[in-house]
Amino acid sequence: MSKDLISINQAEYSEIVSIIERARENAFRAVNHELISMYWEIGAYVSDKIKNGSWGKSVVADFAKYIQTERPDIKGFSASNIWRMRQFYETYNDDEKLAPLVREISWTQNLLIMSRAKTEEAREFYLLLCSRNNYTKRELERQIDSMLYERTIISDERNKLFLNKNTGLRALRDSYVLEFLDVPESHIEKELRKSIVANIRDFILELGRDFTFVGDEYRIQVGNKDFHIDYSDSRFIPIYI
């Protein structure tokens, strides 16, 4: 088989793999949507029972024991988690803007945002950030720990475009938290570059998901001249959108 034919086949195989990946992603989203909707309904039920005075802590604890005893195959319904479902419902029940967003991310991510973001604006910010960038729990937690919302809020008007829904949260920000680079206060450019390359995943995460790493001192040709993009050449930027 010729190299050209192999290349053609690989391109076609890649298309099929893309179809598979899209289907798996859609299936995951559908399952997650139903899971979050279930937690929402349970939270609404428990909230209503408590407001009517017919349920209290002892009833919730008894229900959790009932689930564990009668249906041990059903997981995730400890007393504490049931209380979280109630809190989840009551947090977003009256918010028509955020209620649909909570179904786009996982339960673990919802719990993290609900416990750490103290205002409606902060919750909206992290819900959008998480759903549009497909963040893992670790990635979301780091953005919250680095106070990304607060840093964006105090940015100038140009950088507040980062908050705009229509931009997909893509604008550059005024400041970045790069403590993971672990370089001394007095350092040379070479040390900084090596540390960024060694921690490239966290570095790109801090910049935003619309950036990618193309290489260290990446070579490009302009006319008949070769240029190597690095941090010392102010004419080029080594991270591309």
Q: In the chain, what are the domain boundaries?
A: 1-93
Average pLDDT over residues 99-112: 94
Cβ neighbors of 194 (< 8 A, separation 6 or more) are none
Q: What is the mean pLDDT of the chain?
A: 76
DSSP string for 121-165: HHHHHHHHHHHHHT--HHHHHHHHHTTHHHHHHTS-TTGGGGG-G
Prediction pTM value: 0.63
pLDDT digits (tens, 9 = 90+) for 16-71: 888 898 898 889 889 999 999 999 999 999 999 999 988 888 999 999 999 999 99
Q: How long a stretch of residues is the chain?
A: 241
Q: How far, in Å, are 3, 22, 24, 212 from residue 17 at the CA level?
A: 21, 9, 11, 22
Helix (H, G, I), strand (E, B) or coil at 223: coil
Q: What is the pLDDT of residue 45?
A: 95
Q: In the structure, what pLDDT confidence band is assigned to residue 163 with cuts at 50, 70 and 90?
A: low
pLDDT digits (tens, 9 = 90+) for 165-206: 443 454 445 455 555 556 566 666 666 666 666 655 565 555
Q: What is the pLDDT of residue 16?
A: 86
Residue (of 112, 119, 55) closest to 82 by Cα position: 55
d(CA 140, CA 133): 10
Residue (of 44, 52, 37) closest to 93 by Cα position: 44
